Structure 1
């Protein structure tokens, strides 16, 4: 039994759930359109360029969670998943997950997008194990802060190593599927890195390293 690790955004789904959640908040009038939409686009561009300040971004993206009652947030999230996420799940991604499940592999999603947004998305694929940036929840509300290490770039490696230290699993035979050059630290760690519909920087790195390049689109 090996560990099969999947990135989420633009890997198992055909867009970025973090960015889409921000746009959902804008479209529903939950946040200020001009200020939030511009900042959301700028942070997403920084991510794609590999220069995202993750702490600044989390301060921005988690603030709406602190501004609203959790029950209202969950209702919005249900609508978000139903209207924006389900249409961009990928048949080939479901098939790939099921292939690993049938082989007896342990399935894990590891994503920089926070757990509030991603937990119900991962459940659409029937995957129980999720490592993600975790919003702080205290006294019955989200605080707008995060706990532990942000699950981004080298932080993904840190979170995975911490998770493995408390389990009987290891990286023998492990694979990791990702679209982003931001995941190179983890791709370089596993035994079987796979580039999935990769961005330009990851495509070049995968070609140079001789890694498989696949499409789930």
Structure 2
């Protein structure tokens, strides 16, 4: 009998990071003058509320969130992303989150970050955590290889996150029966994947997920701050 692959899946925003990297990138584009501080903030805030409520139109949101990147072009966008990593993300890399990831790596688990934030924002964040495998919202590219604003394939949001992880397993000749999977998430948006894995961990959970985790006897992990 083959030994099952041990898989450690991590959501990113408010799970490994105490911030929302997607929303923070939007704020950063305001700070560097790429987006209108009033109009952009209103729309960014509205999209964020829809995300928390589980009613986000991810295609509309990605067009909105990547517009500044598309207009500025590759060179300027990559330079701005480096600044964003240094000024916003680096201070949010908490030792307890890094240690949690490294604990799984030392145990020989396959570690994957699975996030509803797009790959442009999250690729360097995954690298900062020392995680090679990132499942994020893939961005469609034009003939020059630059972002179009559309999504490539199934977006890794809500039920789509479980679908994308399932596709990733299938690409490796695996299925859910062949792995022992743990998933850390803060949000009810990730309920489909939490229900799919062997070991769901409600991590810094929102109130709805905390209540559900208590009801179902799931582990609750308060990674960043104590909580009753």
Q: TM-score range by the shorter chain?
A: over 0.9
- Correspondent of 2:74 among 47, 62, 70: 70
Aligned position for 1:182 = 189
* Contact persistence 1:65–1:144 (CA under 8 A): no
- Correspondent of 1:34 among 33, 38, 41: 38
Aligned-pair distance for 1:168? 4.2
Counting only pairs closer than 5 Å after superposition, residues 9-28 of structure 1 correspond to structure 2 as 9-28=13-32
Aligned-pair distance for 1:82? 0.5
What TM-score, normalized by structure 2, do the two folds share? 0.92
Matched, 1:80 2:84: yes
Aligned-pair distance for 1:141? 2.2
Distance (whole Å) between structure 2 residues aligned to residue 116 and residue 180 of structure 1: 22
Distance (whole Å) between structure 1 residues aligned to residue 164 and residue 116 of structure 2: 11
Runs of 4+ in 1 over 2 A off after TM superposition: 168-172
Aligned position for 1:94 = 98
Change (3 A) 1:169 1:106: farther
Q: Structure 2: any 5+ residue segments left out of the alignment?
A: none
Aligned position for 1:6 = 10
Aligned-pair distance for 1:68? 1.6
What TM-score, normalized by structure 1, do the two folds share? 0.97
Aligned position for 2:198 = 191
* Contact persistence 1:64–1:144 (CA under 8 A): no
CA RMSD across the alignment: 1.1
Aligned position for 1:49 = 53
SS at match of 1:108: strand
Q: Structure 1: any 5+ residue segments left out of the alignment?
A: none
Matched, 1:165 2:170: yes
Aligned position for 1:209 = 216
Distance (whole Å) between structure 1 residues aligned to residue 15 and residue 153 of structure 2: 25
